Chain A
Amino acid sequence: MTSISSPDAAVGGAERRSPEPRRPARLPRLSLNLRQSGIYVAFAAIVVFFAVITDGALLQPQNISNIIVQNSYILILAIGMILIIIAGHIDLSVGSVVAVTGAIAAVLMVNHDVPWPLAVLITLVAGGLIGAWQGYWVAYFGIPAFIVTLAGMLLFRALTLTVLGNQGIGPFPDEVRTLANGFTDGYLGNVGLGPLGGADLVSLLVGAAVIAGMFVTQWRARTGRLRYGQQVEPLPLFLLRLALAAAVIAFVVVQLARFRNLPWVLILLFALVLGYSLFTNRAVAGRQIYAIGGNLQAAVLSGVKVKAIVFWLFVNMGVLSALAGIIFAGRLNQAGPTAGNAFELDAIAAAFIGGAAVQGGVGKVVGAVTGGLIMGVINNGMSLIGAPSERVMLVKGAVLLAAVAFDVWTKRRAATAVR
């Protein structure tokens, strides 16, 4: 936006000038909203684009299922990564941690016949310990996370090779493979959906429950705000937004129900997104992550336990990496020495595409997952049209750069709007 000639022109919600700055809020808020919501618009545009150029193949039941299953482990990593990035840190080691935890799980289950629930538990604890190791150096010793996790990237890759003895280990028990690759059973059988054919009833019911739950919680949040005399968006806009979200959920669920029911990883992902969103929005510790990333010194002087929170963020990242490690190994049915290569880059890219700020302090779990899905859709869509992998890489790189450029641009615009 360029400067305008008259102060009274109503551009961009500009207010009439008055000696004390009444002006601040409107304009920056608009761009902030753009920064947070632009990602969903971009996602929708990318989906539509690929749906068109693949003649609808992108949105076929099986393909939707593939996109979810193929990207589940990146999305899980992205959830942990966005928290770390909000706090102003980074984790470059997640790919190697995925590899080493997958290897640990394989050794336990395949070589030592440990029952799978126990093996999964041990692997998650191992991931937590790895995170604690890195969290210690970052939070308590004060080494930049970039360095600690760069070292971790090498250390844990080395450990992977040691644990595996330089060879792949498999196959995994069926339960683990189901978690990674499988679908819910059709407990209640199918129902006919007319021209769409048969669809799994359980999946449809779950979808309906999710939509209903969304409506109820959103409505209660809205009435709560109204009760406190806060501004809310106009009712038609509110309903339109909910209706759109409901339509998307319904579409995905129906397609999945027509294919092979709900992937287990989707249910897992849903629970994680819900839990972590709630945590970052409402929990005291979750909110303090934003305070740390926004202004570390101010957080310290406000009594926030900065070191402890950063430490636990890395522990959390380790556990989520272990979960991703198990799912990835289960999907390939083998833990290999090169597993998880470059996963850290995908997870970091997902977080930044999803609206995280380079300096920290800004970001949303849902945004990071959407960012991950954007890359997943690009991957998938381009492979559907038979694009070579170098071109996929090219596009992903361009999208990442564009997303961060957009973030920096909105921030600069907000900055020049003041004085």
Chain B
Amino acid sequence: MTDHILRMRGITKSFPGVQALRDVNLSVRRGEIHAICGENGAGKSTLMKVLSGVYPYGSYTGEILFDGEECRFSGIRDSERRGIVIIHQELALCPQLSIAENIFLGNERATRGLIDWNRTNHEAGLLLERVGLHENPVTPVSELGVGKQQLVEIAKALAKRVRLLILDEPTAALNDDDSAHLLDLLRGLREDGITCVIISHKLNEVTAIADSITILRDGQVIETLDTAKDEVTEDRIIAGMVGRDLTQRFPPRANRPRPGTGAEALRIEDWTVHDPTRGRPVLSGVNLTLRRGEIVGLAGLMGAGRTELAMSVFGRAYGTRISGRLYKDGRPIEVRTVRDAIRHGIAYATEDRKRYGLNLIEDIKRNISAAALGKLARRGWVDDNEEYRVADGFRRDLNIKAPSVLAVTGQLSGGNQQKVVLAKWMFTDADVLILDEPTRGIDVGAKYEIYTIINRLADEGKAILVISSELPELLGLCDRIYALSAGRITGEVTREEATQERLMQFMTATTSSGT
């Protein structure tokens, strides 16, 4: 009999009108790394919320056995007392507080109600060492990158004497370097006897690190794989997740242009941008050309300046002391505001659609029209019916899954939200589309649809720049790929020449380890 630290039996959880989990059984062995895979909406996060007491006992049916004892958590503090700690996808740190304060938040090192700062900072230092983060504990968290913040979260969990650590999409926002570091750390924790449950979309990481993999679909467990015994491949996991064989992750593209043949759409020359708060250059002397009918990739590690490049070109939405030249269809253009950019046919779909891309409390219709409302107006008055017709056209065309365009975008799944963002920019009649992480946080099936749309836009003669942290995505989608490292273009490869190794070399070229 194997030693299970956790057994969840017959977990069923309903929301009004939806059954999120149906008779789910999950057994986690002591000291293993257990991955949970599934498409968005499959019930992964719900299951973890049940486990951690976010959904208290009584709001679900079934039982949770932790260390063989039945647990009836009434809240997250309850589960934490038992050593179950969850780290959510959206990090829950207070940016203005120091690392040490964050680590011991709600768990303060205090004597008689007064915080012992020496002890706090000293113990924080020890924990930081353990997670391999070389920072001063008094540094405010806001000065750290996402990767380091993730480590602070783990240190925070360790401070609570964690025994079962749950990580929800821990590497979604991390670049490959930081991800690798994080995975190493998890392996280290495993040796210390800490059990990990990790939810991830990144299947290569899952297969690399997990001891067991549980696949969820539509709120039910499809199967649990043991990587020591079963033959585990990414394709097998995907097949389990989507319930069908996804023979190809990328749609075929019939008429790929030969490199360098399309008409030039946008040329960026000697583009230099400075950080608005610290004043140091984030991009220096970048040259980049986009051609019609071509999908161009932009690879780079976190902090290389990918988003900064896109946003500074898009009407100087980022950066100060910007210098350089822009050419549209061969002619020099001045782009000083976002409106200028839109007028010149440039579109930018942000990497964070919820924070920067969509008005989540508004319906699909009004989100699609938001960037080109003038097109629907006569003398300043918007034609509601025309707006509906346009939006409904996009809904059908892009297969946005919603009962009607009057559905609120905040209620849509990630893939459908992304389609709304794409529709919004398609409606501006842009012929240069910069898509920043177009498939982040989107499930496999929806990714395929997004790729299909991108292909179609290119076939229509638009120039497309795709920014992505996932190299396989760039390799599968793009005709040509630029690599950006520390604010400089360090390489440019065609589809044929491109390999992950080659790109990684460019992406890490001249990168100083820095702060």
Contacts and interface: CB of A to CB of B under 8 A. Distances in A.
Partners in one complex: yes
B388 A302 contact: no
Given A7-B17, A287-B382, A301-B317, A294 B411 contact: no
B359 A7 contact: no
Contacts of A361: 359, 361-362
A86 to B, nearest CB: 11
Contact of B413 (A13, A21, A227): A21
A3 B41 contact: no
Contacts of A225: 385, 388
A195 interface: no
A303 B371 contact: yes
Contacts of B17: 4, 7, 11-15, 17, 23, 26-27, 417
A231 B217 CA distance: 34
Nearest to B339: A303
Interface in A364-419: 414, 416-419
Nearest to B315: A303
Interface string B206-228: 00000000000110000000000
Interface stretch (B75-83, B93-101, B286-294, B372-380): B372-380
A301 B348 contact: yes
B322 interface: no
A241 interface: no
A229 B471 CA distance: 44
A187 interface: no
Given A25-B404, A301-B350, A295 B338 contact: no
Interface in A284-322: 284-285, 287-288, 290-291, 294-295, 297-305
Contacts of A283: 377, 380-382
Interface string B389-423: 10010000000011110111011110010000000
Which size bracket describes the interface of B in this complex? 35 or more
Contacts of B410: 418
Contacts of A294: 359-362
A230 interface: yes
A4 B16 contact: yes
B362 A1 contact: no
Contact of A20 (B14, B338, B370, B401): B401
A288 B348 CA distance: 19
A7 B19 CA distance: 6
Interface string A227-271: 111110000000000000000000000000000000000000000
Contacts of B341: 303
A24 B411 contact: yes
Nearest to A15: B17
Contacts of A26: 17, 403
Given A28-B411, A284-B373, A284-B380, A17 B18 contact: yes
Main secondary structure of the interface of B (DSSP, over half): mixed
A7 B18 contact: yes
Interface in B318-360: 337-339, 341-342, 348, 350, 355-360
A258 to B, nearest CB: 39
Given A300-B338, A302-B424, A25 B402 contact: yes
A165 B388 CA distance: 57
Nearest to B242: A19
B59 interface: yes
| B46, B359, B371, B401 — most chain A CB neighbours (10 Å) | B359
B370 A302 contact: yes
A142 interface: no
A22 interface: yes
Interface in B6-48: 14-20, 39, 41, 45-46
Main secondary structure of the interface of A (DSSP, over half): loop
Contact of B370 (A25, A27, A285, A299): A299
Nearest to A230: B388
B16 A27 contact: yes
B314 interface: yes
A339 to B, nearest CB: 36
B375 to A, nearest CB: 10
A32 interface: yes
A27 B410 CA distance: 13
Contacts of A230: 385, 388
B408 A28 contact: yes
A112 interface: no
A301 B361 contact: no
A224 B385 contact: yes
Nearest to A1: B16
Interface in A211-234: 224-225, 227-231
A291 B411 contact: no
A417 B15 contact: yes
A284 B338 contact: no
A29 B16 contact: no
B408 A32 contact: yes
B415 to A, nearest CB: 8
Contact of A24 (B59, B358, B362, B408): B408
B274 interface: no
Nearest to A302: B371
A326 B509 CA distance: 70
A357 B361 contact: yes
Contacts of B403: 22, 24-26
| A2, A14, A22, A298 — most chain B CB neighbours (10 Å) | A298
B234 interface: no
A362 interface: yes
A419 B16 contact: no
Given A20-B401, A24-B408, A418-B411, A282 B382 contact: yes
A301 B311 CA distance: 9
Nearest to B60: A3
A17 B342 CA distance: 40
B236 to A, nearest CB: 19
B366 interface: yes
A297 B338 CA distance: 12
A111 interface: no
A301 B348 CA distance: 8
Nearest to A225: B385
A24 B17 CA distance: 10
Contacts of A297: 355-356
Interface string B263-306: 00000000000000000000000000000000000000000000
A289 to B, nearest CB: 12
B129 interface: no
Contacts of A298: 355-359, 370
Interface string A24-49: 11111100100000000000000000
A260 B314 CA distance: 61
Given A225-B385, A361-B362, A301 B357 contact: yes
Contact of B408 (A29, A224, A302): A29
Contact of B342 (A19, A287, A303, A419): A303
16 contacts: A7-B14, A7-B17, A7-B18, A11-B17, A26-B17, A32-B408, A228-B385, A228-B389, A284-B377, A284-B381, A291-B362, A294-B361, A302-B338, A303-B342, A304-B370, A419-B41
Given A4-B16, A25-B407, A294-B360, 8 more contacts: A3-B15, A20-B401, A225-B388, A283-B381, A290-B362, A298-B358, A304-B370, A417-B16
